[in-house]
Structure 1
Amino acid sequence: MTQVEAYLKYLRHERNYSRHTEISYYTDLCQFENFVTGILGGFDTEQIDSDIVRRWVVELMERKVSPRSISRKLSGVKSFYGYLLEHHLVSHNPARGIKAPKASKPLPSFVNYAEMKPLLEEHTLAVDGQGQFEAARDHALVELLYLTGMRRDELIKLRDADVDFSASQLLVNGKRSKQRLIPFSEKAALMLKTYLEVRNKEVSL
């Protein structure tokens, strides 16, 4: 029984890994074994060093393998060597300390004005027609989120004192207590003043 076969048996019987996970590990380790064999002429786990593992990662990148897949494959090799070390079959883990390439973050999607217009007009009509507090509040929320790009949590934390009408800007408290200034338009200023006026009337009743 090869070391890879013994490792897969260990995953199946002692770690209770699913058949699907076992196949994924087997596939990744076979790819690693083929790469190493092409360099060393065989698969001697004790002779593999960190340089070979790095070359394997580079080759995967050159083949346009996704960063997420590379991370999974590298994790599999690290786990395999962890098993070998635990059973005193090797003296080192050549994959230790080697990092996979970072996965690129997808660009955020956005809503265009044509898609937002019906929603904005709906709240505008509600405010103009009824002057209700809820309508004015919802209009303010939707307009600010769309026009400034604020995060929801930042908007929730916004206070009256954070709104500077003279400078047309908002003082926003973001993550880790970081503050930043966000400018707002005349349209946003009018919407905010309408909301504050309706709210103050509601509170005074």
Structure 2
Amino acid sequence: MKWEHALKDYQMYLKIERGLSQNSIDNYTLDIRKLIKYLEAHNEHISPVDINPPIIQQFIYDISKKVNARTQSRIISGLRSFFNYLIFEDYRKTNPLSLIESPKIGRKLPDTLSEEEIDELIGAIELGKRTDGLYIGERNRAILETLYGCGLRVSELINLKLSDLFFDEGFIKITGKGDKQRFVPIVETTQKYINIYRKEVRNHLHIKEGHEDTLFLNRRGRQLTRAMIFTIIKQLAEKIGLKKNISPHTFRHSFATHLLQNNADLRSIQLMLGHESITTTEIYVHLDKSHLSKVVEQYHPRK
């Protein structure tokens, strides 16, 4: 069995059997290709069916000198999953990573922004200024307000459709990881900025075929890329002299943290973020120890 054949079958398994998103499938594929590239570089002509633990161990040792513990752990996990699939399909009897331990890593708490920092970032957007004849600032304001106001992943934001907007009901429909759908509340302020963007920017674009239902578009009438959202945020952070290393995900973390600080329950936050497990949502409890103190003071009988 050749690597490309095994990889193609595995990708189909991840898509059909496990229902993973294309982004997740691409990440799994990338880790396996790292191993393939290593084998080619060391002239190791061995199939995925025959590869043995010593070769895998040497590969892990090699990458440990190039990546941090978190990335190393992810690669090991991805490879273990791949070889478990080959066992499941009766191509192999054992997993060559069964005795390889992932490096111990601490849970990294996400960076967050204060309400004042978010206001400052959005306030730094130039409004009423035409770029190539369009008010791009109005679009960027709507993007940041939606990221923060609804707690979206960047992939969810760029894939948001006009047909996903249910403003009369106060919700938007989000397609998240594994194509799982959820409804997220959207406040009137965010609705207002989206409507301004649609009226003053989107309605004046020459929209390309296939992008007619996409909400956020670039100047050429096509769906925005993840990289473009990162660029918008990085430029605004530089403009206000923000020292924190932020990304689109920082707005999602801030959304969850601020809800928790204002006494929202974890279960509601979990549903809005689209987390499979409440354990993932619980990380936000660790961000604000004062919230825990307030809970004890308010509810404990011995307060």
Q: TM-score, normalised by structure 1?
A: 0.49
| Bigger share in helix | 1
Q: TM-score, normalised by structure 2?
A: 0.34
Ranked by relative contact order (alpha carbons within 8 Å, sequence separation 6 or more), the top structure is 2
